[in-house]
Amino acid sequence: MKSIGVFDSGVGGLTVVKELIRQLPNENIVYFGDTARVPYGIKSPETVIRFSIENILFLLKQDVKLICVACNTASSFALPVIKNYFRAPIIGVITPGVREAVYASQNKRIGVIGTKGTIKSRTYEIEIKQLDPKAKVVTASCPLFVPFVEEGWLSGEVVLNVARDYLKPLKAAGVDTVILGCTHYPLLKPVIQQILGKDVTLIDSAKQVACEVKKILVSEDLLNRGKGGNNSFYVSDNPEWFSGLAQRFLGRQLKNVRKVNNV
């Protein structure tokens, strides 16, 4: 029985896995977290593209039928380049989030936050403009958010002050919709919402990504008809660290995270 392959630079892609499990409980999932080479958010496009190709090749060896790039940085830099290299369908996290944001925004002022790499690539901006040329897009990188989330700093004065500073340009532009363009940011939703105000819609693309995966599996007749739900988790380093953080991202503990050396 073929599986859905998911990869991320580390642990953040588990937010997407959580949604996939919720929407597609009969599917098997193989997850790869590139914990030996995380973070991707500060690396060059060439490096992120090379890592992404290696991760995809690893997943293809696990007999997957579809690949989900559950990392915004990899989706921004690598997906436009590599999506046609492989026969298996490859879904990223950008397009589903863009679609939802364009649909949600009333005033056509959309904010995007992400890693330095994601923001520098301008992929979100380009895709939003393609859907709605009149939209005004304001972006900001928030590099301290990833370590905050991984260290469990999800609230408190320090986090609020940093977030206030990062989000200043978005607030000044009067955006009514903000894409949380990084796997980790949904965990900081309460802080981000507090600063931007309750009327701003925060877009967490995981739900839309899972919908998109489902749509493709249906249209390509790839849905698992038997009983699935067998999920495997691989990392390139430090399985204990990954297991420890899984609770925060996936909402449950993970045993049997396997370390692989061949990526």
The pattern of x and - marking residues 32 through 51 that bind ligand DGL according to CB under 6 A reads ------xxxx----------
Q: Which of 146, 191, 245, 250 binds ligand DGL (CB under 6 A)?
A: 146
Taking CB under 6 A as the rule, does residue 121 contact ligand DGL?
no
Judged by beta carbon, residue 74 or residue 217, the one nearer ligand DGL is: 74
Q: Which of 35, 72, 177, 231 binds ligand DGL (CB under 6 A)?
A: 72
The piece of 2-10, 21-29, 158-166, 234-242 that touches ligand DGL (CB under 6 A) is 2-10
| Lookup: tokens for 10 | 């580390």
| Lookup: tokens for 202 | 């925060």
Backbone phi, psi, residue 191, to 5°: -65, -45
The pattern of x and - marking residues 175 through 214 that bind ligand DGL according to CB under 6 A reads -------xxx------------------------------
Taking CB under 6 A as the rule, does residue 236 contact ligand DGL?
no
The reply to whether 68 belongs to the active site is no
Taking CB under 6 A as the rule, does residue 245 contact ligand DGL?
no
Q: Are 32 and 234 in contact (CB under 8 A)?
A: yes
Positions in the binding site for ligand DGL (CB under 6 A): 8-10, 12, 38-41, 71-73, 115, 118, 146, 182-184
- Give catalytic residue positions: 71, 182
